[in-house]
Each structure stands twice: as C-alpha cells, then as structure tokens.
Structure 1
Amino acid sequence: MLVEKTRPAAEAARAPIPWRAVALLSLAAFASAASIRVADPLLPAIGGEFGVSTGVAANVVIAFSITYGMFQLVGGLIGDRFGKFRTATVATLLSGFGALLCVYAVSIDALTLARLASGATAAAIMPMALAWIGDSVDFEQRQNVLARFLPGQILGVIFGQAIGGVLGEFMGWRSVFLVIACLQFAVGAAMLFELWLRRKAETKSFVQDLGPVALFKRMGSLLRDGWVRTVLGAVFIEGFAVFGAMAFLASHLQQRFGLGVGGAGVVVATFGLGGLIFSATSQRLLDWMGPAGLARRGGLVLSIAFGVLSVMPTVWLAPVLTAVMGLGFYMLHNTLQVSATQMAPEARGTGVAIYASSLFFGQTAGVAAAALVFDRWGAGPVFIAASIILPVLASWFAVRLGTSSGR
C-alpha cells in the first residue's frame, strides 16, 4: 500500500509540511523515550531507599513495560475517535502527572503503581505522532519527514539513560523523575497551544460516527488485510532480531573485554549516533536507493555489523560497529514506519498502534529467546543469528514493497 490516492500529484507537490507541529511531536517522542529507560540505572538507589533488592526494585521497569505495550492499541483507537494530535497532547500531559507521582512515592508498591500509570499514558505518544504525520504529510514527502522526526526519539533514549545515571547519582532518584515531569509538562503545554492554533483542522479530523465496538471491528478488519500482516510480521521479526541482540551487547562487552558499566553504556549509546547519521543523510539516501533499496541495504549493513561483532578481536571496534548498526537499523526501520503510516489510511491511528505493539512484542520475545542462548553459549550465537535473519527479512520485505506499489 504505497500510493497515496487522496490528493492529485500536483496538489501533493505543493502541500506545505507542518514543521512546527512535527517538531513538537518529536519533542513529545523525546520526553516519552526518556521516560521509558530512565529508571534502569536508578534501581540500586530505589532498592536501597525502600529496603528491597535490586531485583524487586526492577518491578518498576517491568510495570512500565507491561502497560506501555498493552495500551498502545487503546491509544490508537482513541486517536482515531478523538484526533491524533489531541490524543498525543493529552497523553504527554498525563505522563507528566505519572512522573510526578513517582517523585512523591512513599513505598516501592506506590512507585510501581505510578510507573504503571506512566506506561499507560506514554504508550499513545509515539504511535499517534507517526499516525498524525501520516495524515498530514503527503506520501511523497513522508519518509523524509519521518527521518527528521526520528532524532527526538533517538535522543530521548540516550537522554533518559544519561540523566538517570548522572542526576540520580548526585541528586537522588526522585530528582530524575521531577526533571522528566517538568519536561513532559513543558512539551505538553506547547502542544496544547499548537492544538489551539490548529483547532479547526483538528475538529475536522474527528471520527464522529464510530463507537468503541465499531473501532474494535475496524481493528479486526485491518488484521485480515494481507499487506497489514506483512508489515506487522516484518516489524515483529525486526524487533526480535535487533533488540534481542542489542539487549546483551553491554553484557558481552563487560564479560569478554572487561569493560566497565559506564564504558559499555557509552558504546551502546553510539547506536543512537548511527540513527542521527541516518536522519541527516536520509534524503540523499532515499534519492539514491529508493524505499525498497534503503530497506534491503539496511538489512545488509546490520548483517555485516552483527557478523563482525560476533568475532570482534578488540573492544575498540565496538563503538564503530554499534553506530553502523544504528545506521542500518534506521534505514530498514524508517521504511517500515512509512509503510505502517500507509497500510490503513482510513484508520491510521489504529494501524500505527498495532504496528507499534508488534514491534514492542517482538522486542520482548527477542530478549527472552536471546537470554536463553546467552546464559548457555554467550552473545556470539545471538549476534550471528541476527546477522542471518535481518538481511533475509529486509530482502523479503523489499520484494513485497515492490509488489504492493500499486495498492
């Protein structure tokens, strides 16, 4: 489903890109991504304050992940019913309140409940941002706009891990959640003002005639579409292979090369650097390769990087290979994202939410499978498996992308 048929080509060429709204959505994605991983380095401190083990404290991470995965579908249905930018705005503000509840948590159970709430509200932000861009940006321009939108999410992950470690060490874990809350409130307020400026356009975007039952029926009809299942299957496998392997990269560097926790964290962060390189060069790459070629070569780049990583003789190659992995991942993932925004134009919020859930559950399954392998044989077989799966996936999807271009 690759051809936008809602506007004539000449009109599409003249359609302005709403860069201010895209920038605000990128900031919302930044705040959401920062909140996802911010608790990881805080677990020992949280456990120490509440008198529980680090393993028990990890429930605050698990709680966020559970509701984040479950509520993406709910957010998609709400976005199709009430407007996608509006849903992303409310979700950002509610995430701020969730982070504020974390600041004032008086027990580990209270903190876990606050993170449950934070995950549920943050879940809608990224899918609704992608769906809104799909609604507002013509297909011919969409892949480049999504590439420019991506740095918000990429930097948010890096920022969340960095601020969680640095600020948590010097000012305590509660200050970290306070910063996240202030960030989400500030971005949410700016989005609220943008929503007021765009109130007429947002009002027209309502899906007035669909109740909850009809919306769930629509979700079922999407899953019966062969192209939708292709995109969802591809992103599930991508999440399984890439993030199943990436989850154990830091542990591999520590065990095999004796790298410290901080050094391993810096190496993993260079994955985001590869994403930023892609964002800066996306238009030239697209002009050169086209969407199918971008996906195919992204899989090849990932294959080479993971393959070399599995037999890497020196740790100094690790940051370079990790950055290359980031570049390859976003070459492939950006093409999948564009396909997700176009696979169900009549229910884009629901479609993108299902896509995001498929990616999330793919990551979860990949980490679980890789953990079984890692405990017995180390990270080498995990990296080799990723180097085999990803180019096959990319080539298959590129072929399907070409055969669906007339839809």
Structure 2
Amino acid sequence: MLAPSPADSEAAPSPAALTRFLIIVGFCGFASALSMRTLDPVMPLIAVEFERSVVEVALLTTWFTFFYAFGQPILGPIGDAFSKPRLISLALVAMSATTAVAAAAGSFGLFSVARGLTGIAAGGVIPLVIAMIGDRFPYEQRQVALARFMVATLTGQIMGGLASGVLSPLIGWRGVLSVIAAIAGVSGIVFYLAMGRRDVSKRRPFSIGQAIANYRDILANPRALPLYLLVACEGALAFGFFPYVAAILLARDGATSVEAGIVITGYAIGGMIFAFSAKWILKSLGEKGMIRLGGVILCLCFLLFSIPAPWWTALPIFMMIGFGVYNIHNNLQTQATTLSETARGSSVALFACLLFAGSACGPPLVGLLMRLAGESGALLLYAAGVLALGLSAPRLLKLDRKAN
C-alpha cells in the first residue's frame, strides 16, 4: 500500500478547530442524507396515489441514484477548481427547491423528474465534504474522522426513514418531503455563512481539459481501478434490496409503513454503532480485518432475512447489516481520499459515482433475481455476493497497513 503523502504528515489543525469543522459539515451531511431513504417506507403509498406498481415506484430509487452518480464527474472537478464549501452551499439550496417540487408534484412524471434533479443536487454535498475531510486530516486520523462525519449522515438517514414512516400517516408523504426541503434550504444558508463566504482557497477557472487530465492521473494510480470496481459492487450488493423491504414485510406479516420505517432505521443505527466503535475496531483488526468482518456479517444477515418471520425480527438484522456495510464502506472511502492530493474532490466524486451507479443497478438486479429465483433465492445469492466482496477486497487493494 502507498505510504501517506506529504500532505498527510503536515501538522494538523488544533483538535478544537477540527471538532468545529466536523460539527459544521455534519449538519450538511445530515440535511443531504435525509432525502436518501425517505421514500423507502412509503413506496406502497406512493404507488397507490399515482396508480403504479410497487416495482415501478421502487425504480425511483434507481432514478435518484442514477442522477446522483452521473452528476459526480462534473461536480467533483468544479469543487476542486472553484470552491468546495460554496458548491456545497449551492447544492443544498438546489436540493431544497427540487424536493419542494417533488412534494407538490401532481403526476408521476413530474415527481420522477424532481427526484432525479434532487439526486444531482444531493451529489454535491457528501462527496465534497469527504474530500474536505481528506484535505484537513492526516491519513492516520482520517478513517476515524470519516466515521464521526458518518454519524451525522446516518442520523439523517434514520430521521428520513423514521419520519417518513411515522409522520406520513399524519401529514402524508408530501408533508414529509416539504419538511426535508425546508431543512435543506436552511442548512445551505447556514453553511455558506459559516464556511462558504470565508473560503480563501485558491480558485481557478473550471476547465474540461483539466478535469479530464485529473481523472487520467487518478486512474493511473494502480489501486484506483480495483477500488472503483469494488465500490460499484458494494453499491449493488449492499443497497439493492432496500426499495423492496416494505413490500417484503407487508407480504410476510402485513407490516405497515411505520413498521417498515422502523426496520429500515435499523440499518442506520447499526452504522452509528460502527461509527462510535470504529477507532477500537481499527486498532483491534486493522483495515483488512474490518473489511472481512463486514463481509461475513452481511452474508449471515442476508441468510437470516431470507427466512420468513414476523416483521420485528428484521430490525436486529438490519442493524447488523448497517454495521457490516460500514466496516467495508468506511475503509473503501478512506482509500478514495488517498488517490490524489491535488484533485481529491475528483477522486472522491468518481468513487461516489461508482457507488451510486452500483446502487442504481441494485434494485433492477434484485427484481430480476426475485422473478427468476424467488425472494429467498435472491437473498441467498446476495449473501454469497457480499461474502465474496468482503474476502476479496483486501487482496485486490493490497492492504497491508497494520492496525492503527
């Protein structure tokens, strides 16, 4: 594995300054993450309102992630050239506007367009924040810092899924989206006032030629292609089943949207358990051990979820899914911050592009497997896939860094 760069060895800012920075960017990550899992618990309700099948509505997750992914190759270089903090502020305000349009949409077509545009806007937040963390934290502290930031994003996912499931009977799914739109708008303004207008980083005009040159340099790194392939597989395997969870639980046990929201929230809770224990796990197992542990846990969880049972038994399973996913994901995204020191926004953006491209392929793949092999058969195949991912990733990335 490559040694830490010179930038990693520079004196870090004071702990108090880094803590303030993580709190500020955490608020942005929270606001952006709210929209990611919001629709999962209410897929059946949206299907009824727009007179569509659950499968059709579930493909909105693919639609959102498709636009999130393929906005990245442009947003990353713009952030590198212009200003990451200012682009993050603008993205949050744009996300507020498009979410408000989705909340008011009178047709499935307009709703789909608004969700796609929300995906582009949301893609200008978390990947650029991760790049900013890479700019400020040396390698030895970076994975723990990313785990701390993940607390905020996972809290957003928890609140998004839980609010959607719990509040939709009271204010409807449209009311939930309206609240999320307001939070995104406020967070964009607050972030601009706190960091955007104070950003004094050197700016240069955006150039497509320079962006292409940056990507060429990133892909010349021998670890880049294996890393990007792995994260695409992670996206398809880890998130493919989420849009179907509410329908699966409804068919098995008559679970309501509230109960489905509680189960999906378990994923984020498991991720938060990882985030608070990441420093200890890293010290105990090292990077290789963390990734392998994640693969084994995910395999067992998919095997357990393949067995029909009351809806509440899925909650601990999804907590362990969240814990397992982030044992893998946090290591992969930490590696993404090391691929380039001069175009870190671009390297992380390409990482996010492949992650969400994989996530976009996941639901259609799950739908195909469920038609061919049934619900349990599809879950068994996914169990084998995540185990292979966890066991092969350390070797493909040539991870040999000992526990820090």
Q: CA deviation at 1:186?
A: 1.7
> 2:377 is matched with which residue?
381
1:297 equivalent among 281, 293, 298: 293
Query: Which amino acid counterpart does residue 365 of structure 2 have in structure 1?
Result: A
> 1:397 is matched with which residue?
393
- Indicate the SS of the match to 1:37: coil
- Give unmatched runs, 5+ long, in structure 2: none
Query: Which amino acid counterpart does residue 290 of structure 1 have in structure 2?
Result: G
Describe the shift of the 1:198–1:55 C-alpha distance in structure 2 as closer, same or farther (beyond 3 A). same
Describe the shift of the 1:10–1:261 C-alpha distance in structure 2 as closer, same or farther (beyond 3 A). closer
- Report which stretch shifted further, 395-404 or 135-144: 395-404
Describe the shift of the 1:160–1:242 C-alpha distance in structure 2 as closer, same or farther (beyond 3 A). same
**Is residue 54 from structure 1 mapped to residue 56 from structure 2 by the alignment?**
no
Is the Cα contact below 8 Å between 2:41 and 2:261 reproduced in 1? Answer: no
Describe the shift of the 1:137–1:260 C-alpha distance in structure 2 as closer, same or farther (beyond 3 A). same
Q: For 2:197 and 2:133, how far apart are their aligned partners in 1?
A: 17
Describe the shift of the 1:196–1:403 C-alpha distance in structure 2 as closer, same or farther (beyond 3 A). closer
Q: For 2:295 and 2:17, how far apart are their aligned partners in 1?
A: 30
Q: Deviations over 1:334-356 (max 9, x none)?
A: 10110111122221111111111
Q: What does residue range 22-101 of structure 1 map to in structure 2 within 5 Å?
A: 22-40=22-40, 52-55=50-53, 58=57, 64-101=64-101
**Is residue 184 from structure 1 mapped to residue 184 from structure 2 by the alignment?**
yes
- Indicate the SS of the match to 2:4: coil
Q: What does residue range 274-313 of structure 1 map to in structure 2 within 5 Å?
A: 274-311=270-307
Describe the shift of the 1:237–1:192 C-alpha distance in structure 2 as closer, same or farther (beyond 3 A). same
Is the Cα contact below 8 Å between 2:42 and 2:257 reproduced in 1? Answer: no
**Is residue 131 from structure 1 mapped to residue 131 from structure 2 by the alignment?**
yes
Describe the shift of the 1:367–1:109 C-alpha distance in structure 2 as closer, same or farther (beyond 3 A). closer
Describe the shift of the 1:161–1:8 C-alpha distance in structure 2 as closer, same or farther (beyond 3 A). closer
Q: For 2:105 and 2:251, how far apart are their aligned partners in 1?
A: 36
Q: For 1:394 and 1:324, how far apart are their aligned partners in 2?
A: 15
Q: What does residue range 4-403 of structure 1 map to in structure 2 within 5 Å?
A: 4-7=4-7, 9=9, 11-12=11-12, 18-40=18-40, 52-55=50-53, 58=57, 64-103=64-103, 105=105, 109-195=109-195, 198-200=198-200, 203-204=201-202, 206=203, 208=204, 211-311=207-307, 317-403=313-399
Q: CA deviation at 1:76?
A: 0.8
Q: For 1:47 and 1:322, how far apart are their aligned partners in 2?
A: 24
Q: Deviations over 1:270-293 (max 9, x none)?
A: 111111111111111111111221
Q: Deviations over 1:100-153 (max 9, x none)?
A: 334555655544443333222111111111111111111110000111111222
Q: For 1:151 and 1:15, how far apart are their aligned partners in 2?
A: 18
Report the identity percentage: 28
Q: For 2:188 and 2:260, how far apart are their aligned partners in 1?
A: 33
User: What RMSD in Å do the two structures reach over aligned CA positions?
Assistant: 3.1
- Indicate the SS of the match to 1:345: coil
Query: Which amino acid counterpart does residue 287 of structure 1 have in structure 2?
Result: K
Is the Cα contact below 8 Å between 1:15 and 1:138 reproduced in 2? Answer: no
Query: Which amino acid counterpart does residue 370 of structure 1 have in structure 2?
Result: V
Is the Cα contact below 8 Å between 1:245 and 1:382 reproduced in 2? Answer: no
Q: For 1:8 and 1:157, how far apart are their aligned partners in 2?
A: 31
Q: For 2:270 and 2:2, how far apart are their aligned partners in 1?
A: 26
Describe the shift of the 1:265–1:173 C-alpha distance in structure 2 as closer, same or farther (beyond 3 A). closer
Q: CA deviation at 1:67?
A: 2.4
Q: Deviations over 1:186-214 (max 9, x none)?
A: 211221122257433xx23x3x2761222
Is the Cα contact below 8 Å between 2:158 and 2:269 reproduced in 1? Answer: no
Describe the shift of the 1:3–1:191 C-alpha distance in structure 2 as closer, same or farther (beyond 3 A). farther
Describe the shift of the 1:349–1:103 C-alpha distance in structure 2 as closer, same or farther (beyond 3 A). same
- Give unmatched runs, 5+ long, in structure 1: none
- Report which stretch shifted further, 61-70 or 125-134: 61-70
Q: For 2:25 and 2:176, how far apart are their aligned partners in 1?
A: 22
Is the Cα contact below 8 Å between 1:21 and 1:194 reproduced in 2? Answer: no
- Indicate the SS of the match to 1:35: coil
Is the Cα contact below 8 Å between 1:3 and 1:139 reproduced in 2? Answer: no
* TM-score normalised according to structure 2 size: 0.87
Query: Which amino acid counterpart does residue 180 of structure 2 have in structure 1?
Result: I
How many residues align structurally?
400
Q: For 1:13 and 1:402, how far apart are their aligned partners in 2?
A: 30
- Report which stretch shifted further, 120-129 or 388-397: 388-397
Describe the shift of the 1:10–1:108 C-alpha distance in structure 2 as closer, same or farther (beyond 3 A). closer
Is the Cα contact below 8 Å between 1:60 and 1:111 reproduced in 2? Answer: no
